[in-house]
Amino acid sequence: MARVYNFSAGPSMLPESILNRAAAEMLDFEGSGQSVMEMSHRSKVFDKIAKDTEALFREVYNVPDNYKILFLQGGASLQFAAIPLNLMNKNKKADYVLTGQFSTKSYKEAAKYGEVKAIASSKDENFSYIPKITKEDVSEDADYVHICFNNTIYGTKYPYIPDTGDIPLVADVSSCFLSEPLDISKFGMIYGGAQKNVAPAGLTIVIIREDLIGNARQECPSITDYQQVADADSMYNTPPCWCIYMCKLMLEWIKTTGGMEAMKERNLKKANILYDYIDSTDFYINTVRKEDRSMMNVTFVTPNEELNAKFVTEAAEAGFVNLKGHRSVGGMRASIYNSMPIEGVEKLVEFMKEFEEKNR
């Protein structure tokens, strides 16, 4: 069986060792006589999986003690509404920074619940850079400031953590979760879907400072009220059991391969291999401002649309799949999340070189 290198923006690759382990445990998890897929979430066996996952997350990602880790469903997209419903609770105002499609979606969703202000945007240059935000840009009466830390579609990432003073900073980290060490204490809350870096699709993770919990708005659905979910240890209702188990395997993998520092080193190495090659030729162009380049999503174009299409087709035939850029930006995008092996990127660059030689 030949496995492909999957450069999809999500769901994405998982380490083969994890897939093999899950396969080996599929029919009988640790002598329980059941698959994790079949287990009651109230069973002792699953309760241990859930608790171990949380403890491991805290350890591996260095989550401070005064932050809750919540395991939810509904994707990052449900959080676009859950955030204002939980946190837009004092002045019913919030600041948003617009750096692409997801941040714009979250801004529009929040506008249903209060007064939202776009305090900065990079739309003027097709979201190819990250605006510099200072404390002075933040509204004094904002209940929180929302940013999208890594912009999956445009291939940009904040090279800094904005200082918002006493106003809690909330960040969508869907496409950079667990990709490098992060000083979580600088944020009021971070959140993301797991399907890019952490686990299969179906799990959403919220990490939130405890003092921000407990003042959800009256109309906030219980299922997404952080207090109620935290009080129930993320089992207010049935959690995505299988995904939580896969998340645990992923965390174990990160831990045994050197932890977050080593993860960053590998991710940076992959990104540099690609960017260095793109920068060395005028055949491929990356239009993102250099200091704002994403380590996870690398966008590039060839000299014309026809060649872009040809590239995507021929790459797929050679075993490099899902390289087509998002429909709103065109071109190509290589998503090189945690589980993409270094050799996948090296081989892609080999392919890019050959393609250039044949088509320039």
Site residues, ligand PLP (CB under 6 A): 10, 75-77, 102, 148, 152, 172, 174-175, 193
| Triad 200, 329, 356: Cα angle to 5° | 95
Residue among 109 and 172 whose Cβ is closer to ligand PLP: 172
Task: Give dist(CA 149, CA 352) in Å, integer.
Answer: 29
Nearest residue (CB) to ligand PLP, 11 versus 319: 11
**List of residues 6+ apart from 147 with CB closer than 8 A:** 96, 97, 99, 103, 133, 158, 162, 169, 170, 171, 172
Structure tokens at 285: 């162009």
Q: Among candidates 71, 76, 33, which has minimal Cα distance to 50?
A: 71
Instruction: Note the helical H segments in 88-159.
Output: 101-110
Strand partners, 319: none
Nearer to ligand PLP, 224 or 302 (CB): 224
Q: Which is closer to ligand PLP, CB of 196 or CB of 352?
A: 196
Task: Give the nearer residue to ligand PLP in terms of CB position, either 53 or 204.
Answer: 204
Nearer to ligand PLP, 148 or 169 (CB): 148
CB 10 within 8 A of CB 335: yes
The closest alpha carbon to 192, from 322, 326, 91, 338, belongs to: 338
Q: How far is CA 140 from the centre of its chain?
A: 29
Strand bridging mode 115-121 / 93-98 = parallel
At closest approach, how far in Å is the CB of 1 from ligand PLP?
Answer: 28
| Smallest gap from residue 333 Cβ to ligand PLP (A) | 12
Q: How far is the CB of 133 from ligand PLP (least distance, A)?
A: 17
